[in-house]
């Protein structure tokens, strides 16, 4: 089975003054294409650090991270930016839309940073419109984030994450700011995307959300403490 992402013996150390904090102490895992994983663990367990590494927002101190066949662990800042733009789709707890942009403009943001920075074509625009339709926001294209509900904002973020057809989708507590009904709607969308073949890695601390993933990885003290497959 082709691996969307895999890492080997990842370590991440931080320097806080003279103290070295080992946030990750050798994590090895593999995510085959079409996987849907919930990363769980208490705060300080290293799951956020792992997510940052997965998102190419940071580089590991030791170890290898292969994303879509590329070794990402040793890339420059510039190359990491390109990896984020081309291979990763982010969904955040607090949606992270750009406040002054409309729904359509928010979906288009990753296009601004494509390699070579070509201008946005009508084909690009049509793709954005399709994505907006997929997440049910066709009638809200000219709205700005403050005019939308939390669920609608998260759907904009999902459309934005899909724009570049990413290798993996990283969702950081995607339902954390939503009521259970809206949260369920978002999880439905994620589930649908996964059935369509997308690889999703999701951080959550809510067991009933984690349940909806194919498998769960538990982290503790910077290491993988256990793995479970639902149902089971």
Partner 1 sequence: MIARLISTIRLGFKSLMLHKLRSGLAMLGIMIGVTAVIWLVAMGEGVSYQAQQQIKDLGATNVIVRSMKPSSGSATGSSFIIEYGLTRDDYQRILEGVPSIRRAVPMREIKGDARAGSRESEIQLLGVTPDYRDMNHLIVERGRFLSDRDVIGEENVCVLAAGAATNLFAHENPVGRKIEIQFNGKSDVYKVVGQTADRTPSAAIGGSLAGRDFNTDVYIPLTTLRLRIGDQVITSRSGSREGEIVQLSQITVTVGEVEEVEEAAGIIEILLEKYHPLGDYAVVVPSELLRQAEMLRMMFNVLLILIAGISLLVGGIGIMNIMLATVTERTREIGIRRALGATQEDVIIQFLAETIVLSAAGGMIGVVFGFGCIPVTYLAQTGLERWLPEVWSTLPTTIRDLQPRIAIWSIIASFLISVGVGVLFGLYPARRAAMMDPIEALRHE
Q: In the complex, which residues of this chain contact partner 1 (CB under 8 A)?
A: 52, 55, 57-58, 77-78, 81-82, 84-86, 90, 92, 96-100, 109-110, 112-114, 117, 119, 160
Please say which residue, 58 or 179, places its beta carbon nearer to partner 1. 58
Shortest spacing between CB 162 and partner 1, in angstroms: 12
What does the H/E/C string look like for the chain? CCEEEEEEEEEEEEEECCEEEEEEEEEEEEEECCCEEEEECCCCCCHHHHHHHHCCCCCCCEEEEEECCEECCCCCHHHHHHHHHHHEEEECCCCCCCCCCCHHHHHHHHHHCCCCCCCCCHHHHHHHHHHHHHCCCHHHCCCCHHHCCHHHHHHHHHHHHHCCCCCEEEEECCCCCCCHHHHHHHHHHHHHHHHCCCEEEEECCCHHHHCCCCEEEEEECCEEEEEEECCC
Nearer to partner 1, 70 or 92 (CB): 92
113 versus 230: smaller Cβ distance to partner 1? 113
> In angstroms, what is the minimal distance from the CB of 163 to partner 1?
9
Phi, then psi, of 81 in degrees rounded to 5:
-60, -40
Compare residues 13 and 214 and give the one whose CB is closer to partner 1.
Answer: 13
CA pair distance 64, 212, nearest whole angstrom:
29
Q: Give the shortest CB-83-to-partner 1 separation in angstroms.
A: 8
Nearer to partner 1, 36 or 95 (CB): 95
- Distance, in Å, from the CA atom of 118 to the CA atom of 5, rounded to the nearest integer, reads 28
| Minimum gap (Å) between residue 67 Cβ and partner 1 | 14
| CB of residue 84 to partner 1, shortest distance in Å | 5
CB of 128 to partner 1, least distance (A): 14
Nearer to partner 1, 82 or 134 (CB): 82
Distance in angstroms (rounded) separating the CA atoms of residues 70 and 209 = 31
């Amino acid at each position: 089975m082709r691996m969307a992402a895999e890492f080997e013996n990842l370590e991440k150390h931080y320097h806080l003054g003279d103290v070295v904090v080992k946030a990750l102490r050798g994590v090895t895992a593999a995510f085959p294409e079409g996987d849907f994983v919930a990363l769980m663990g208490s705060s300080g367990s290293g799951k956020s650090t792992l997510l940052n590494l997965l998102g190419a927002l940071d580089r590991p101190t030791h170890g290898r991270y292969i994303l879509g066949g590329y070794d990402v662990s040793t890339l420059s800042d510039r190359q990491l930016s390109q990896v984020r733009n081309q291979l990763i789709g982010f969904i955040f707890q607090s949606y992270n839309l750009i406040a002054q942009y409309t729904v359509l403009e928010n979906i288009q943001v990753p296009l601004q940073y494509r390699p070579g920075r070509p201008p946005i074509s009508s084909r690009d625009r049509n793709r954005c419109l399709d994505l907006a339709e997929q997440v049910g926001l066709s009638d809200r294209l000219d709205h700005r984030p403050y005019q939308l509900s939390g669920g609608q904002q998260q759907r904009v973020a999902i459309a934005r994450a899909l724009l570049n057809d990413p290798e993996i989708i990283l969702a950081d507590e995607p339902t954390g700011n939503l009521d259970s009904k809206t949260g369920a709607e978002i999880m439905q969308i994620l589930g649908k995307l996964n059935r369509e073949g997308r690889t999703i890695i999701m951080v959550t601390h809510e067991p009933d959300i984690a349940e909806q993933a194919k498998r769960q990885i538990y982290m503790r003290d910077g290491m993988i403490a256990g793995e479970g497959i639902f149902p089971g």
